[in-house]
Amino acid sequence: MYKVLLVDDDKTARYILKRFGKWKTYGFAIAGEAGDGKEALKMLANESFDLVITDIKMPGMDGIEFLNELKWAHIDICMIFLSTHSDFKYAKQAIRLGVFDYVTKPVDDAVLGEVLERVKHCLQEKENTRRKIQAEQRLIEESLAIHYPVNQEKEIIAYILAGNAAALVSAEAAFNDLAAMLGRDSLKVGQLLEIILANVNAELVKQFPWLPSFESMLCQDQIGRNDALASIKDSFLTCISLRIKIIRKYELHHTDSVIRRTCQYVMEHIEENNTLEVVAQEVQLHKDYLSKMFKQKTGLHFINYVTRAKMEHAKQLLGTGKYKNYEISEKLGYSSPDYFCRLFKNYTGHTPLEYRKVFFSVF
């Protein structure tokens, strides 16, 4: 049985609908009632229904608002509107918004039966399509599991964490092997490469939980599954290359424990006072010795490393569109917004305002 939710502020109208004698005949059962759209939304958030029959005009939240709320919440459900002849303009608007159909009050049994028959057919088609997609997905997953390059993935991750360009060699080899094994099926090859990238990202975040605060691209991989294989390969290798650059940018590839702890402390406390004295105390070294050691191992002065990290974090903060320049300056520990803006322009070639317009024009 398909579950029906009735929504109407008029209890009598709901009672009349419930008395319709052929709900079961058409494969439906009344599973819930609500007096308005807000109450219905709460019910839909906690329970699944197959069909909603709702009045268009209700106090508090009318049917159109209710429908828009469902769309905003991405709740995909079949909906029938009840309307009077005077509500016809609302009914037409509802059809444009994707409502299945509307029935005028008072509800005629024959009309309701005809609509329910069409709803049942629509729901059956939807279920058949869902099952077909699931079956196809299972077949794809079984095929992919057979060909998944576990060892090559481990090798790629190890090279990336070491900041080693050999990751690109391993990545290209993985692509070539997959293309050969899967008969150059671009969809399957693209799916497997996306899984590899997802696992690479997961490992990077596991090792460096603060990294997404500096590099949002870790969550924005796009490989065109249906593109030409050459395009898919280029996209995959570009993503791998970017990860190598990220590891090297933040000096995360160093095996020396002091350097790793120093970099990690700076990144984890990027919105705090990262002076050489503070970090030296954290890693239990004299600040002069740490400064000299950091320069020898990374080729960077400590203050330049801190500035680089802060500017990268500033990019992310600008991208959110939530902060003004002086607020970002304060978050990063700079007392002067003008000084922050000069540092940012020296690092990126753009003022914060220019950078926001060029790279985040949506804001």
Whole-number Å distance between alpha carbons of 176 and 229: 10
pLDDT of 308-339, one tens digit each?
Answer: 989 988 988 887 777 888 889 888 888 888 99
Helix H segments across 19-149?
Answer: 37-46, 63-72, 88-97, 109-147
- Between 5-14, 43-52, 95-104, the lowest mean confidence (pLDDT) is in 95-104
Residue 81 has pLDDT above 70, yes or no: yes
Whole-number Å distance between alpha carbons of 280 and 278: 6
Whole-number Å distance between alpha carbons of 288 and 127: 69
Q: How confident is the model at residue 362 (pLDDT cuts 50, 70, 90)?
A: very low
Give every strand in the sheet of 101-104, ordered side by side.
28-34, 2-7, 51-55, 78-83, 101-104
pLDDT of 222-260, one tens digit each?
Answer: 676 667 888 889 889 999 998 999 898 888 888 788 888
pLDDT, position 148: 80
Whole-number Å distance between alpha carbons of 99 and 264: 53
Is there a contact between 240 and 168 (Cβ–Cβ < 8 Å)?
yes
Is 336 in a helix, a strand, or coil? coil
Mean pLDDT over each residue of the chain, to the nearest integer: 84
pLDDT, position 336: 87
* Among 293, 344, 292, 346, CA closest to 323: 344
Is there a contact between 257 and 285 (Cβ–Cβ < 8 Å)?
no
Whole-number Å distance between alpha carbons of 290 and 136: 58
pLDDT, position 225: 63
Tell me which DSSP letter residue 107 carries. Answer: P
C-alpha dihedral (284, 290, 294, 297), degrees to nearest 10: -80
Which class is domain 257-359? mainly alpha
Q: Which CATH architecture has domain 2-130?
A: 3-Layer(aba) Sandwich (3.40)
Residue 361 has pLDDT above 60, yes or no: no
Is there a contact between 266 and 210 (Cβ–Cβ < 8 Å)?
no
Residue 86 has pLDDT above 70, yes or no: no
- 303-321 per-residue burial string, b: 16 or more CB within 10 A, e: under 16: eebbbbbbbbbbbebbeee
Share of the chain above pLDDT 90, in %: 15
Is there a contact between 109 and 20 (Cβ–Cβ < 8 Å)?
yes
Any idea where the domains of the chain sit in the sequence?
Answer: 2-130, 148-249, 257-359
Q: What is the pTM of this model?
A: 0.55
pLDDT of 129-183, one tens digit each?
Answer: 888 877 767 766 666 667 788 888 999 999 999 889 999 999 999 999 888 888 7
Higher pLDDT residue, 92 or 150?
150
Q: Please state the rounded mean pLDDT for residues 113-140.
A: 83
Is there a contact between 119 and 27 (Cβ–Cβ < 8 Å)?
no
Bridge-partner residues for 53, per DSSP?
6, 80
**Amino acid identity for residue 226 in this structure:** N
